[in-house]
Amino acid sequence: MRVLITSGGGAKGAFSVGALQYLQQNNLADFDFISGTSTGSLIACMTAAGRIDVLTDVYLNTTNADILDPQNLLDGRPYLYDTDPLLKQIDTHLTPAAFDTILQWPGTVCYNAVCLQTGKLTVFSTRPLAADRHYDQQVINSRQMMIDGMLGSTNQAVFMKPVIPHHDPGMQYVDGGNREVIPTRVVINNLSRNEDHEIYVLSNNPTELLQVNRTFTNILDVLMRAISIFIQEVRENDLNVLSMYKKISPTNIRIFYICPDRELDTEFPTGLNFEFTEMEKWMQMGAQTAKQVITNNPNGNFS
């Protein structure tokens, strides 16, 4: 089985798209299972739809105004940005034809969001998944449900408003990255124990947290640094899940871990800075990194 795992990272998802371009050009993008978080939910679905070209266009032509509408906290809203522009983007690119293609795709595509009411992950998927105490699951049965789940997966809590899904109006969903930045658990729970696997992990953040030699005095700077530390902790836990599975698996598992060698955006670790000139650089970096990892480590570079 060939698996794709796509991490969160907002605008930094351009790095993953660049890596996907390389995989596609080298006939390595025929996946059987795809798992995504946050910006990775869009990447997961469009990959299943066979539209990596659409992803390229999105990440090369998107600005903050195309995603976010700034709000005034003094008006009583529990978020900094309205995401109606993002909803329009998803609605535009996840066409009825693309949705039908995704549902008819023979593999499984899934992505997660965090439910504020349960505090757990909710995994939206095109097919039933193996049950696990760490997440609830929703099998996608309509385009609207797919859109709601994707919007919930991408909406960073506090920064962006929670999503109330049409199919379950009693719930509110926020970014899946609050529990899984790299959604590995659902993958290992659904791998066959009787066959070999090839897993491509696309992370939009470096392996090591950037260390800084400065004093933080601005409240926003403190918040961003705290978020960076939080993201690092979650990411390490996600990768540990994958590492432990590889150690105990009775079959051969090749894992290609593709990530940047530095923080792509030190000022906006959440990825809420859609600057297309930077995203173009990150996309090129993603393709180059994928080539290096796969060429230099044909048996995988993750232990």
DSSP structure string for 109-135: EEEEEEETTT-SEEEEESS----BTTE
Q: Is 38 a catalytic residue?
A: yes
| Structure confidence at residue 84 (pLDDT) | 87
Q: What is the pLDDT along the chain (303 residues), one digit of tens a residue?
A: 999 999 999 999 999 999 999 999 999 999 999 999 999 999 999 999 999 999 999 999 988 888 888 877 666 676 788 888 888 989 999 999 999 999 999 999 999 999 999 999 999 999 999 999 999 999 999 999 999 999 999 998 888 889 999 999 999 999 999 999 999 999 999 998 889 999 999 999 999 988 888 898 888 889 888 988 999 999 999 999 999 999 998 889 999 999 999 999 988 888 888 998 999 999 999 999 999 999 999 999 987
Model pLDDT, residue 303: 74
Whole-number Å distance between alpha carbons of 269 and 177 = 13
Q: Is 265 known to be catalytic?
A: no
Other C-beta atoms closer than 10 Å to the C-beta of 72 total 8
**Which of 9, 26, 11, 12 lies closest to 200, judged by CA?**
26
Question: What is the CATH number that goes with domain 2-296?
Answer: 3.40.1090.10
Sort 213 into a burial class: Cβ within 10 Å, 0-12 / 13-18 / 19+: exposed
Q: What are the residue boundaries of the structural domains of the chain, listed by start? A: 2-296
CA separation, residue 253 to residues 30, 51, 118 (Å): 17, 27, 34
Asked if residues 37 and 150 have their Cβ atoms less than 8 Å apart, the reply is no
Assigned token pair, 152: 């919930």
Cβ-contact 17, 29 below 8 angstroms: no
Catalytic residue among 16, 38, 125, 228: 38
Residues in the chain: 303
Structure tokens at 65: 């105004």
Chain-centroid distance of CA 234 in Å reads 13
- pTM (2 d.p.): 0.94
**Which residue in 7, 35, 41, 175 is the catalytic one?**
175
* Other residues' Cβ atoms within 10 Å of the Cβ of residue 40: 32
